[in-house]
Amino acid sequence: MAFNGHFDAYYERLGFYLDGTYFGLDFEPALDKGESKGVSLRMGIMDYGVSYRVFGASAAERVSSWNDKASSPIFDIYTDGRTIWLGNKAECGRISASMDASVTAPVIGGRVTVDITPKWYVSADGFGVDNVSLTTSALGKVGYRTSFFGVPASVEAGYKALSVKVNKPILTTDIMMHGPYIGLTGYW
């Protein structure tokens, strides 16, 4: 099971965002299933921070001119914290072992959005940090502006990659997650 969600809120050029990723994996033994229940892995990653629109239309200007001509490119910079939580559990017969740990690291990044036409746009997002060994993310997407029930909205499709390499006394992991996604965003 995997889940990813994203929330942005803007006031003029200042923004706040929250981005969460969660996934769980269960590995069952191939041999001797009676003795062992296997290994379970759960991981959660939460990004939370502030952004500033360096150039381009403010959030209010974008929404007020939603159906107008294509606007100038937008560039946002942001800084945040990324908290990584990892939980492992192994069960073999009557013996069970589990461990939960978390680390938090600062993140600095940027996002560029360019209109191709008044309705179509492309966006790229990337950030990284070297505090917990390495944690980076990249996101590329194509979006189409429309409206649902009178609310400005966009339908998006893209590809996201997230790499986490942690080598701390309380947590050691090296995971690369990537894949396509689709999304629906409402603006009000």
The 10s digit of each residue's pLDDT in 19-66 is: 888 888 888 776 665 666 788 888 898 989 999 999 998 887 877 777
How high is the pLDDT of residue 53? 94
- 104, 80 in Cβ contact below 8 A? no
The per-type count for the chain, helices as H runs and strands as E runs, is 1, 9
DSSP state of 61: H
The whole domain housing 173 covers 2-186
- Exposure string of 91-103, with b = 16+ CB inside 10 Å and e = fewer, is beeeeeeeeebeb
Say what the pTM is. 0.75
* Edge-first strand listing for the sheet containing 74-92: 2-11, 14-27, 36-55, 74-92, 95-115, 120-129, 134-148, 151-168, 171-186
- 159 band by pLDDT with thresholds 50, 70 and 90: very high
Total count of domains within the chain: 1
What tokens were used for 147? 């409206």
Give the tens place of pLDDT for each residue, 116-148: 888 898 999 876 665 566 677 888 899 998 888
Question: For residue 68, what is the domain's CATH number?
Answer: 2.40.128
Banded model confidence at residue 114, pLDDT cuts 50, 70, 90: very high
Q: How far from each other are the two terminal CA atoms of the chain, in whole angstroms?
A: 31
- How far apart, in whole angstroms, are the C-alpha atoms of residue 56 and residue 78? 15
